[in-house]
Structure 1
Amino acid sequence: MILVTGGRGFIGAHAVRALLDLGEQCVLGQRSAGPRPALLRGVPDGHAVMEPLDCADPGSVLAVGRRHRITGVVHLAASGLGASPPLEEVQTNTAGLFAVLRAALEWGVARVVVASTIGVYAGADGPSYREGAPLPVASPHPIPASKKIAEIVADVAASSGQEVVSVRIGAIWGPLGRPSSPFFAAPGLVHAAVRAGARSGAGDAGAVRGGPAPASPTGATPGGSAVDGMPPVYAEDSVDMCYARDCGRAIALLQTTPALRHRTYNVGGGRAVANHEVAAAVGRVVPGGVPALLPGRSPGSPALDAHLDVTRLREDTGFVPEYGLDRAVADYVGWLRAGHPR
């Protein structure tokens, strides 16, 4: 069985779903108790087993291996994420990684996949982020700082003979994700459109399949400049986006592909997507549901639209995204209209 720490979380649930689709069985390790994610409802208990697990407690991690035969690990759990003092957050997450790596070594696990982030590239030059490029030492936030430390620890473990793969994950959006993000506009645009469609009575299944595009060049309706609960959304701001179902499948492939040639892989869409592209796609699914975008770029936005180079991922695992922008928006809208709050 493959242990997925943080398996009840946003990316964790999608990784578990993808692993199950590949014929694997999973243990979902989570510190907090709670129901099975909606994405995994209906899965037989023996295929996706939920277990209490606190990565900061080595005994808690090892106990999972006494109850199940763990053959692989996907380590996605993280503590804090801005809720704890920065030093405490970094300490807790680093200690958790050590506990997972030591347990995996004891269990004889074939491969450990460790989550990193696109944030480790903050301050790097060039429009394309490649795994082999040197990274700035400094980090603007505790999350990328923790992930840089994790990558160093993972690399030391790999140098000692343990197969450990770091996965630099880009901006992920879709079912189970937050309704809005401080880092990119896509989730907020979709949620705002679904709310607007519900108010106008346009929430039928036919609208999910699409309709005429809005008249605005940005794909937005006139009369607004922001999405509820979000900062103003600028049409030309761009980010590398990967739909959650594709992200989960990429992680599953990195866990199950028999042989990998590298220790670090980018997981993203492979190009920068502008907010006006997202708005246009949302408008095709929910006509009239998208607030207007502000023209141009936000103040202080980077001059270059950087994206993750996903050549390694494609060449070593055969991964190709299944969800283009329109299909992703339609899937997400359909998920929300089915009654899921996020």
Structure 2
Amino acid sequence: MKTLITGSSGFVGLALSEHLLAAGEDVIGFDLGPIPAQAQAAFARLPGRFTEHRGDVRDATDLRMVMGRHRPQRVVTLAAITADAERERLAPQAIFEVNVGGVLAAIGASAECGVSRLVHISSGSVYGTTGRHAPLLDEARSALAPEGLYGQSKRSAEDAARRLAQLHGLPLVIGRLGTCFGPWEADTGVRDTLSAPLQLLQVARRGGTAILARDSLRDWLYVRDAARAIGCLLDQPQWRYPLYNLAAGFQWPLSQWCTRLATRFPDFRWRLAAPGETPNIELYADYDRASMALDRLREDCGFVPRFDIDAADHDFHHWLAHVAGPQTTVNP
């Protein structure tokens, strides 16, 4: 089985590639940037074969050429610009060109090259302000109210992907990805705000003090579980629903992560910001988004997350020590 992944050099793209390669599948990676050297070495040890192609996801001609050459049966659209407010001001058009136009280019190329199924990866950011008050974000009942251009572009991409796949008669499912952290996350130039767990790890590794605006409570999704969730959608013979939340199904506060970091890095300190003090850990918003419901994915695909905070802590630091190495791209 061959799977083409757009955005394969990004955080989740690398994790998904690793997951599929470990299962003995072949992966065609399509991305404007190269995969890091650590990933090249890790992938070479796995039974599947990884083929890298450098290209712009907005270039439909290049996508058709790559798909025509390799003939993947499945395509996962992961390429995206995860924009902060500054990028929104400076490059709003590019956000939509990649996040929407790139998806449409991939679907058009898939239709021409005989792809049998498509998995489009969206984001929990499409729920937007609904996440301020809802007890749980449900695929069927929670309103979409994205706040920034990233979330708005992801909502637009969902609608456009459904329509174009329908016109071409291509099987398509959408997965709304929760807030991820873990191996392979780095500043790639298109991911403007790193996850809070990674930011805290960066401070801990240099023996600094982390200052938090609040003890943020979220349903943090370890990226290995995210990759497994996408893999479940790829492998599911039939989808009962047109879209699924890809989420952790449980919450934990950042204070628990800080406590674990403090046991590993004795010089690390953390605290909540005093009144008027500026935090040095950037959170995604001034509130903690409600958790995303996991019932559909659990009931339809049998997906159960494997990484609670203890398992994630152990696996992440094992990965840092044995795969990423001391000079990993987890920068200070």
Report the TM-score, using the length of structure 1 for normalisation.
0.80
Aligned to 1:318: 302
Aligned to 1:186: 197
Letter in 2 for 1:243: Y
Does the CA-based 8 Å contact 2:83-2:192 persist in structure 1?
Answer: no
Q: How does 1:40-59 map to 2 (within 5 A)?
A: 40-43=42-45, 47-59=49-61
Q: Which has a greater percent of helix? A: 2
- After superposition, give the CA deviation of every residue in 1:26-47 in whole Å (9 maximum; x if it has no partner): 1011123455552744247971
Aligned to 1:26: 27
Residues 182/12 of structure 1: CA separation in 2 closer, same or farther (3 Å cut)? closer
Q: How does 1:246-257 map to 2 (within 5 A)?
A: 246-257=225-236
User: Matched residues in 2 for 1:313 and 1:34: separation?
Assistant: 30
- After superposition, give the CA deviation of every residue in 1:237-273 in whole Å (9 maximum; x if it has no partner): 2122111111111112211222221111111212332
Q: Which runs of 5+ in 1 are unaligned?
A: 197-223
Q: CA deviation at 1:136?
A: 3.6
Aligned to 2:75: 73
Is 1:87 equivalent to 2:93 in the alignment?
yes
Letter in 2 for 1:60: D
Q: CA deviation at 1:159?
A: 4.1
User: Matched residues in 2 for 1:310 and 1:263: separation?
Assistant: 14
Does the CA-based 8 Å contact 1:79-1:93 persist in structure 2?
Answer: yes
Q: How does 1:257-276 map to 2 (within 5 A)?
A: 257-276=236-255
- After superposition, give the CA deviation of every residue in 1:93-115 in whole Å (9 maximum; x if it has no partner): 32211111111112222211112
- SS in structure 2 opposite 1:123? helix
Q: Which segments of structure 1 move beyond 6 Å, counting only runs of 4 or more?
A: 295-300
Does the CA-based 8 Å contact 2:197-2:254 persist in structure 1?
Answer: yes
Is 1:154 equivalent to 2:161 in the alignment?
yes
Residues 30/43 of structure 1: CA separation in 2 closer, same or farther (3 Å cut)? farther
User: Matched residues in 2 for 1:185 and 1:106: separation?
Assistant: 41
Q: CA deviation at 1:192?
A: 2.5
Letter in 2 for 1:255: L
Letter in 2 for 1:147: K
Letter in 2 for 1:78: A
User: Matched residues in 1 for 2:314 and 2:205: separation?
Assistant: 11
- SS in structure 2 opposite 1:307? coil
User: Matched residues in 2 for 1:33 and 1:236: separation?
Assistant: 36
- SS in structure 2 opposite 1:308? coil
User: Matched residues in 2 for 1:181 and 1:136: separation?
Assistant: 23
User: Matched residues in 2 for 1:157 and 1:98: separation?
Assistant: 7
Aligned to 1:218: none
Deviates more, 1:312-321 or 1:287-296: 287-296
User: Matched residues in 1 for 2:160 and 2:249: separation?
Assistant: 27
Does the CA-based 8 Å contact 1:237-1:301 persist in structure 2?
Answer: no
Q: How many residues align?
A: 307
Report the TM-score, using the length of structure 2 for normalisation.
0.82
- SS in structure 1 opposite 2:51? strand
Q: CA deviation at 1:72?
A: 0.1
Deviates more, 1:38-47 or 1:310-319: 38-47
Letter in 1 for 2:162: D
Is 1:118 equivalent to 2:162 in the alignment?
no
Q: CA deviation at 1:176?
A: 1.6
Residues 240/176 of structure 1: CA separation in 2 closer, same or farther (3 Å cut)? same
Q: Which entry has the higher C-alpha Rg, 1 or 2?
A: 1
Aligned to 2:329: 341
Aligned to 2:14: 13
- SS in structure 2 opposite 1:3? strand
- SS in structure 2 opposite 1:278? helix
Aligned to 1:294: 272
Q: CA deviation at 1:53?
A: 2.6
- SS in structure 2 opposite 1:129? coil
Which of 239, 245, 250 is 2:218 aligned to? Answer: 239
Deviates more, 1:332-341 or 1:252-261: 332-341
Letter in 2 for 1:117: S
- SS in structure 2 opposite 1:254? helix
- SS in structure 1 opposite 2:183? coil
User: Matched residues in 2 for 1:314 and 1:267: separation?
Assistant: 10
Fraction of identical pairs, as percent: 28
User: Matched residues in 1 for 2:46 and 2:219: separation?
Assistant: 35
Residues 5/184 of structure 1: CA separation in 2 closer, same or farther (3 Å cut)? closer
Is 1:277 equivalent to 2:239 in the alignment?
no
